[in-house]
Chain A
């Protein structure tokens, strides 16, 4: 992927900005929310390869910096939430969309169902708290 950063460098104006925005493997929390309250039901299990991909991306940027293409100006992280109205919808989404980087955890799904069944509130929802990485790089 170093070549991709070289291509981006080529198409940026002098002093142009490259923003690196991506989710990071971090055993994302499954949370139940109701009104202003939220509590953690459990955590998703990262596929063993997921942190490897993150490290590879980080190394790619380090290499681009080493080659003098970009210099990092800032780095931050924040939470990005996915919401579902029912445990079934959440489970279906995770099985269908995240199977490449999240291991299926039947105990977590069961715990989520249990927590859902024992929570009242018409506005209750489930959410996954995704850790996001945001870095700004400037073209040199």
Chain B
């Protein structure tokens, strides 16, 4: 089953137009297998992707592009209990999560 999602890049264009991501510390909530992560991370300083699904995070970690390995990390977590200190992130993206 082959599906292609947003080949036009409409989502990242709108996202990039909504905020300034450069040099920002991002939290992506509901990163899944990293589809959006790979598009947002190059725009930002650092990105932490969280998801409660361990299988999805394994795929994301395995498929992380080499040029993003220094700036992207993945954590298994739920938005209901974020394992981060107060005032850690500049921007949080609720990514297809509600």
Interface residues of A (CB under 8 A from B): 1, 3-4, 7-8, 10-14, 16-23, 53, 57, 60, 74, 76, 78-85, 89, 92-93, 96, 132, 134, 136
**What 9 A-B pairs have minimum CB-CB distances, sorted nearest first?**
A57-B98, A4-B79, A83-B4, A17-B91, A19-B93, A7-B82, A13-B87, A11-B84, A11-B88
Q: Within B1-49, which residues are at the interface with A (CB < 8 Å)?
A: 1-8, 10-11, 14-15, 18-19, 27, 29
Chain A residues whose C-beta falls within 8 Å of the C-beta of B88 in the assembled complex: 11-13
A18 touches B87 (CB 8 A): no
- Residue numbers of B with Cβ under 8 A of A are 1-8, 10-11, 14-15, 18-19, 27, 29, 78-82, 84-98
Smallest distance from the beta carbon of A51 to chain B beta carbons, Å? Answer: 13
Which of A1, A21, A80 is B6 in contact with, Cβ under 8 Å? A80
A7 to B94, CA, bound (A): 12
Determine which of A11, A79, A93 lies in contact with B27 in the assembled complex, contact meaning CB atoms within 8 Å.
Answer: A11
B contact residues around A60 at 8 Å (CB)? 98
Tell me if B91 and A11 are in contact (CB < 8 A): no
Q: Which of A13, A22, A89 contacts B1 (CB 8 A)?
A: A89
Q: Which of these, B2, B6, B19, B85, contacts A19 with CB under 8 Å?
A: B19
